[in-house]
Chains A and B, each alone.
Chain A
């Protein structure tokens, strides 16, 4: 084969435009509903075109806020969140969000400004090598060299971000490229010879899995976020019901299988439910669907699912066998794989005894917390939130204890109602992500469950909530500490609370008031009920400062280095 050039001859008509105009047109072509951004020197030409482009733009108060908001939007809609930041500090401020989106497979298309091509490499004002910085934390990234490349690159970026295993794609646009004119076909053909995500699973592997199920006595499905990305919840329910296989969720997979379903065991992992972890430990067939065997899920790998044949359905072949040896690898889209499994309608596993055993574990070791003290219990807060929202809210969390309690006690029955930073564990994620989630679901109740420490990392975004009158209910689970760090110091560092307690805090009520957001404080269950009632009766943003039991710990838990079967704090 003697191919002359890599790119095929372009067909279609060419138009002549400035780079920024090409960009606006490309954004419209991709039906971008909203942009989360922050202007600056290098993106002035782009912002000038945005001025009357008719594309809604949310001005977060910090670039980190912009990108987390875009993540919140993408996590709910499955569509790429779009971000614009300027060069240098603007670009470096989005680095955390890119890493967060990369590890949790969130589709984003991020535009950064860059200094003019003539001065790249001269340490010019607000210059940063954002391509170099973000290479390991993006699915792909580009620097645009001429305006005429913009339509092609933007099209590729949207395709790469949302297809296969989703992820963030960054496009760096030098200032002069946005200004100068180029000539290009505005709807070029996609040509990505090195990128062909495999959607259809291999039939032989599907058959192998069908046979494995028919011979299994203790099968279990581990459903991760891949189920949500593939919009495969219904297929998962159909498959689990048809074969009588119980299901556990990963943290990010919550909602992918209804929590009130008879086959649902619970969330597995470090703070998962005892029954779920025991099911993973004792199963003889583990079918992972769109989960990546993160260390917070598996505990010590030496003790993980030692008795099981492992089948792994994943769209990313690199995830298969990465952490856990896999007997039946199924590369493909979760929905495709599950529908094909349902179609096969194989012989069911003989799992009656196993299901009984799981029910016994569930009955014997339910989630528990101590209710003796008069202080407000954080777990109770989450239960109340579930009650007051009838389990129908979009729940956005930050990272730490409150996140685990929300995962444990909210009980998610529907998909795409759970937004959390799982892999990276990014504090400060919650408030901006809730903004994105509310924009994605304007009619739904969005609750932002956040710790007092994480809240202070991005509280500047209250301005956006106030400005846009987004009716988000911000629930600060306030234990005046960096709760999870404090818990680990209590358990593993001889109660030496090194820099994890916050004796001085702002008045969160007054802070909200400064932004003209209604706010209430509560420190007992009765007070909490009153303020929650008030909050949910108002169709406007409300902040609640809930003073909870400061020394409360998250249980049950798996101590570092321990296996799933070695949970602690499983009973009062």
Chain B
């Protein structure tokens, strides 16, 4: 299963290394990881999408992460009401025949063209991973020349559905 874990960490040297190290040490797979500043100075926010066997695995990952001195907070937001976004840049081949067709795909996905040249277009798309994957599938027949994805970044929505409150490790 896919799990989404968000972390707030002290912005210290080596902190990202510690986290990725922990995943490899415990033999867990990172599907994507995004890192950036948070609303607080010196504190970064990390979103990790992991491939895990089951919920127990994800719980074990969060517990191990929690032990790290530079990690302030670990939240497993898998299956909760979240806002999750990813950005992808896609360079796709065009010719006079396909140009209009590709433009017609862009519109419904609310993607945008950010660079144009004689025989290719660079498209930027943001959204949940599934949407991006669907878009990539649609573009594939035209010939994708280059693709770059940022990985998911996410947090909880302001309002949680009542049945699913923020999961905290119960034994603490």
* CB of A321 closer than 8 Å to a CB of B: yes
B69 contact set on A, CB distance < 8 A: 139-140, 160, 192, 194-195
- B-facing residues in A289-348 (Cβ within 8 Å): 316-318, 320-322, 329-331
Decide: A317 and B66 in contact? CB cutoff 8 A.
Answer: yes
Q: How many angstroms from the CA of A317 to the CA of B9 in the assembled complex?
A: 19
Decide: B14 and A131 in contact? CB cutoff 8 A.
Answer: yes
Most A CB within 10 A of own CB, among B11, B14, B22: B14
Q: How many angstroms from the CA of A135 to the CA of B25 in the assembled complex?
A: 10
* CB of B112 closer than 8 Å to a CB of A: no
Q: How many angstroms from the CA of A98 to the CA of B142 in the assembled complex?
A: 55
* CB of A414 closer than 8 Å to a CB of B: no
B170 contact set on A, CB distance < 8 A: 329
Decide: B72 and A132 in contact? CB cutoff 8 A.
Answer: no
Q: How many angstroms from the CA of A2 to the CA of B40 in the assembled complex?
A: 6
Choose one: A139, A205, A322; the contact of B171 (CB below 8 Å).
A205
* CB of A126 closer than 8 Å to a CB of B: no
The DSSP consensus for interface residues of chain A is loop
**Given A2-B39, A143-B13 in contact, is the A194-B63 Cβ separation under 8 Å?**
no
Decide: B72 and A194 in contact? CB cutoff 8 A.
Answer: yes
* CB of A5 closer than 8 Å to a CB of B: yes
Decide: A331 and B72 in contact? CB cutoff 8 A.
Answer: no
B162 contact set on A, CB distance < 8 A: none
* CB of B42 closer than 8 Å to a CB of A: yes
- B-facing residues in A1-29 (Cβ within 8 Å): 1-6
Per-residue B-contact encoding for A193-204, CB less than 8 Å = 1, 0 else? 111001000100
Most A CB within 10 A of own CB, among B59, B60, B63: B63
B25 contact set on A, CB distance < 8 A: 136
Decide: A5 and B172 in contact? CB cutoff 8 A.
Answer: no
Most A CB within 10 A of own CB, among B14, B25, B171, B172: B171
Q: How far does the Cβ of A374 sit from chain B's closest Cβ, in whole Å?
A: 50
Q: How many angstroms from the CA of A473 to the CA of B64 in the assembled complex?
A: 41
**Given A160-B69, A317-B66 in contact, is the A331-B172 Cβ separation under 8 Å?**
yes
Decide: B71 and A194 in contact? CB cutoff 8 A.
Answer: yes
* CB of B41 closer than 8 Å to a CB of A: yes
Decide: B17 and A132 in contact? CB cutoff 8 A.
Answer: yes
Decide: A6 and B43 in contact? CB cutoff 8 A.
Answer: yes
Residue of B nearest to A328 (CB): B171
**Given A3-B40, A135-B18, A321-B59 in contact, is the A198-B72 Cβ separation under 8 Å?**
no
Q: How far does the Cβ of B51 sit from chain A's closest Cβ, in whole Å?
A: 19
* CB of B110 closer than 8 Å to a CB of A: no
Per-residue A-contact encoding for B150-172, CB less than 8 Å = 1, 0 else? 00000000000000000001111
Q: How many angstroms from the CA of A438 to the CA of B2 in the assembled complex?
A: 52
Decide: A317 and B43 in contact? CB cutoff 8 A.
Answer: no
A317 contact set on B, CB distance < 8 A: 63, 66, 169, 171-172
Choose one: B42, B63, B64; the contact of A6 (CB below 8 Å).
B42
Q: How many angstroms from the CA of A327 to the CA of B68 in the assembled complex?
A: 26
Q: How many angstroms from the CA of A551 to the CA of B25 in the assembled complex?
A: 38
Decide: A318 and B64 in contact? CB cutoff 8 A.
Answer: yes
Size category, B interface: 20 to 34
Size category, A interface: 20 to 34
- A-facing residues in B34-71 (Cβ within 8 Å): 39-43, 56, 59-60, 63-64, 66-71
A140 contact set on B, CB distance < 8 A: 68-69
Q: How many angstroms from the CA of A228 to the CA of B43 in the assembled complex?
A: 37
**Given A2-B39, A135-B14, A193-B72 in contact, is the A198-B60 Cβ separation under 8 Å?**
no
**Given A6-B43, A194-B10, A331-B172 in contact, is the A135-B67 Cβ separation under 8 Å?**
no
Q: How far does the Cβ of B37 sit from chain A's closest Cβ, in whole Å?
A: 13
**Given A131-B14, A135-B18, A135-B21 in contact, is the A318-B39 Cβ separation under 8 Å?**
no
B9 contact set on A, CB distance < 8 A: 194
Choose one: B10, B21, B40, B67; the contact of A136 (CB below 8 Å).
B21
Q: How far does the Cβ of B36 sit from chain A's closest Cβ, in whole Å?
A: 17
Q: How many angstroms from the CA of A330 to the CA of B170 in the assembled complex?
A: 11
**Given A4-B41, A136-B22 in contact, is the A320-B14 Cβ separation under 8 Å?**
no
Per-residue B-contact encoding for A368-409, CB less than 8 Å = 1, 0 else? 000000000000000000000000000000000000000000
Q: How many angstroms from the CA of A88 to the CA of B16 in the assembled complex?
A: 23
Q: How many angstroms from the CA of A143 to the CA of B170 in the assembled complex?
A: 35
Q: How many angstroms from the CA of A418 to the CA of B159 in the assembled complex?
A: 55
Q: How many angstroms from the CA of A160 to the CA of B63 in the assembled complex?
A: 17
Q: How far does the Cβ of A93 sit from chain B's closest Cβ, in whole Å?
A: 21
Decide: B72 and A135 in contact? CB cutoff 8 A.
Answer: no
Q: How many angstroms from the CA of A141 to the CA of B21 in the assembled complex?
A: 13
- B-facing residues in A398-432 (Cβ within 8 Å): none
Decide: A5 and B42 in contact? CB cutoff 8 A.
Answer: yes
Per-residue B-contact encoding for A116-146, CB less than 8 Å = 1, 0 else? 0000000000000001100110011101010
Per-residue B-contact encoding for A136-162, CB less than 8 Å = 1, 0 else? 100111010100000000000000100
A5 contact set on B, CB distance < 8 A: 41-42
Decide: B72 and A322 in contact? CB cutoff 8 A.
Answer: no
Residue of A nearest to B64 (CB): A318
Q: How many angstroms from the CA of A1 to the CA of B41 in the assembled complex?
A: 12
Decide: B17 and A135 in contact? CB cutoff 8 A.
Answer: yes
- The 8 A-B pairs of least Cβ separation, nearest first, read A318-B63, A329-B171, A6-B42, A195-B69, A140-B69, A136-B25, A194-B72, A135-B21
A-B contact pairs, 27 of them (CB 8 A): A2-B39, A3-B40, A3-B41, A5-B41, A5-B42, A6-B41, A131-B14, A135-B17, A135-B21, A136-B22, A136-B25, A140-B68, A140-B69, A141-B14, A193-B10, A194-B69, A194-B70, A194-B71, A198-B172, A202-B172, A205-B171, A316-B67, A317-B63, A317-B66, A318-B63, A329-B170, A329-B171
Question: Given A6-B43, A317-B171, A318-B63, list of 8 further CB < 8 A pairs?
Answer: A1-B40, A131-B14, A140-B68, A192-B69, A194-B68, A194-B69, A198-B172, A202-B171
